[in-house]
Amino acid sequence: MHIVVVGLNHKSAPIELRERLAFNRDQLPEALNRLREELGLMEAAILSTCNRVEIYAGVSEVDGAVARVTHFLSERAAVDSPLLTPRLYSFIEPHSVQHLFSVASGLDSMVLGEGEILCQVKHAYEWARDHGATGKALNGLFQRALNTAKAVRTHTAIGRGATSIGTVSVELAEKIFGRLPKSVILLVGAGKIGELTLRRLIERGASDIRIVNRSAERAGHLAADYRARALAWSELPSQLLAADIAITSTSAPSWLLSREDVAAAMPQRHQRPLCLVDLGVPRNIEPSVGALENVYLFNIDDLQGLVEHAHRERQQAVQASQRIIDQKVGHFLTWWQEEVAGGVPCVPSCSGPAAAP
């Protein structure tokens, strides 16, 4: 058996393409079934985040596997394979192992050392395992990847400083509005990214934070924990009139805020500046909203400048992290050859615009 990964990330594809490939949790069972039953993958797992979509597979033969997964992704994105392929990368072991260990450890993230990715890898594995899509190969791979990530965060400084996209978005809001305690902040979405963003807002002194979420119960719990106000989903239009900053982070399949919505709100705001930070993938705010007067719209790819500053602060931790990853990859490959591959040596192979970490 071989371990194959095929995917794209923030380095190889823009958000316009990543959002077309993104999977929400409800779509995973059907997708995992298709990967195994129609594509013939022995094992499968899907890692879908705001910055990447990757399919991990256990296959008996490498030949044809990458092409089948590529076709599967091109169908999902409604993009012809010749147009999608240059954006994709593919690895087999040992590079596929090295890649996942680096991803889980935050070394392949837009925000170097981010903490959310560890939970996202864990959930991707659990969803695939609970659906019966993993076996000995991917169970061993993901369990060791999670162990490696924890070791990296424990023994290096990779996680210090601004290590989440939520933190970076808060820094952006501060640059535009100055001190946050005087700003009215609307948080749309109460998932993991929303909660991390809320935590950073509180740490920076924000005091008037309003949470709108489709699940009123979830919004209520989050508001109680962080001294914020939970509001009904139906109040989103009216809250847009009061907010100085609105940060969205939902997995909604269509626009939460259209150009028409925001254009209607601006005269009632007397053209008071509005900062919109869209952390959703797919995007939550219609891109043309950014062309409106006194509206400042940023999506997740627009935060790259602030991210690069955070990267420079943590570069010294990369080498220490890489040494841990290399050691853990070696341990995994030893187990792999003894327990799964039957003593057959790993044959390195990789392709695509993103080099193996």
Q: Which CATH architecture has domain 2-160+315-351?
A: 2-Layer Sandwich (3.30)
Q: List CB contacts of 97: < 8 A, sequence separation 6 or more.
A: 3, 141, 329, 332, 333, 336
Question: 110 or 22, which is more confident?
Answer: 22
**Exposure class string for 130-154: b at 16+ Cβ within 10 A, else e:** ebebbeebbbbbbebbbebbebbbe
Q: DSSP string of 126-142?
A: HHHHHTT---HHHHHHH
Strand runs (DSSP E) across the chain, as ranges? Answer: 2-9, 43-48, 52-59, 89-92, 184-188, 208-212, 229-231, 245-248, 274-278, 295-299, 349-351
| Confidence (pLDDT) at 55 | 97
φ, ψ of residue 149 in degrees (nearest 5): -60, -40
Q: Is pLDDT of 63 > 90?
A: no
So where are the chain's domains? 2-160+315-351, 165-305
User: From its phi and psi, is residue 271 left (phi > 0), alpha (psi between -120 and 50) or beta?
Assistant: left
Q: List CB contacts of 125: < 8 A, sequence separation 6 or more.
A: 45, 134, 138, 142, 143, 146
If you average pLDDT over residues 237-264, what whole number do you get?
Answer: 92
Q: How confident is the model at residue 164 (pLDDT cuts 50, 70, 90)?
A: confident
β 89-92/184-188 pair status: unpaired
CATH number of 165-305: 3.40.50.720
Query: pLDDT per residue over 253-308, tens digit each?
Result: 889 999 999 999 999 998 799 999 999 989 999 999 999 999 999 998 888 767 76
| Confidence (pLDDT) at 354 | 41
Check if 275 is active-site: no
**Exposure class string for 288-302: b at 16+ Cβ within 10 A, else e:** ebbebeebbbbbbbe
| Confidence (pLDDT) at 21 | 94
Half-sphere exposure of 93 (CA within 13 A, CB side): 26
pTM for the full predicted model: 0.83
Q: How far is CA 19 from CA 132, 214, 301, 356, in A?
A: 26, 21, 12, 23
- Over pLDDT 90: what percentage of the chain? 63
Q: List CB contacts of 321: < 8 A, sequence separation 6 or more.
A: 105, 107, 152, 156, 158
| Confidence (pLDDT) at 345 | 52
- Residue 285 DSSP label: B
Q: Is pLDDT of 180 > 80?
A: yes
Q: Is pLDDT of 229 > 80?
A: yes
Q: How far is CA 42 from CA 50, 136, 221, in A?
A: 27, 11, 41
Crossing angle of helices 165-177 and 304-339, rounded to 10°: 180
